[in-house]
């Protein structure tokens, strides 16, 4: 695959990989703990997570073989995973952050 896009899966048990470049609706090579190709279903910003399997609402999001959050909706393999479809199990405040920038959405600065 020339000009391949790459996502890195850290541990075999993870259900996400990290996009090493911005992804669009295109084939993505998995590297790291798992090889293969998955299809990005949407724009995924560099450094963000892509689902490596279907994840049901309420299932844990696993990265580093550690649950880092819980899905708030059904997520398809190849979809972007961020705060729009998951909640942190460590920090309830994260539900008030913009899914791309991380900027608080519940605080008005004047």
Name the residue ranges covered by the structural domains of the chain. 5-96
pLDDT value for 83: 86
Q: What is the mean pLDDT of residues 2-13?
A: 88
Q: Is the pTM of this model over 0.75?
A: yes
CATH class of 5-96: mainly beta
Q: Give percent of the chain above pLDDT 90.
A: 72
Q: What is the pLDDT of residues 23-54, one digit of tens each?
A: 999 999 999 998 999 999 999 999 999 999 99
Question: Can you point out the beta strands (E) in 1-110?
Answer: 5-9, 16-19, 27-32, 36-39, 49-51, 60-63, 66-71, 80-81, 86-88
Most confident option among 2-6, 57-61, 103-107: 57-61
């Amino acid at each position: 695959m020339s000009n391949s896009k790459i996502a890195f899966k850290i541990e075999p048990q993870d259900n996400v990989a990290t996009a090493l470049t911005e992804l669009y609706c295109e084939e993505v090579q998995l590297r790291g703990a798992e090889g293969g190709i998955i299809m990005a279903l949407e724009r995924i910003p560099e450094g963000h997570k892509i689902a490596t399997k279907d994840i049901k609402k309420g299932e844990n999001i696993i990265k580093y073989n550690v649950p880092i959050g819980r899905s708030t909706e059904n997520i398809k393999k190849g979809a972007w995973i961020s705060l729009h479809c998951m909640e942190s199990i460590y920090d309830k405040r994260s539900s008030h952050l913009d899914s791309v920038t991380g900027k608080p959405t519940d605080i008005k600065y004047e």
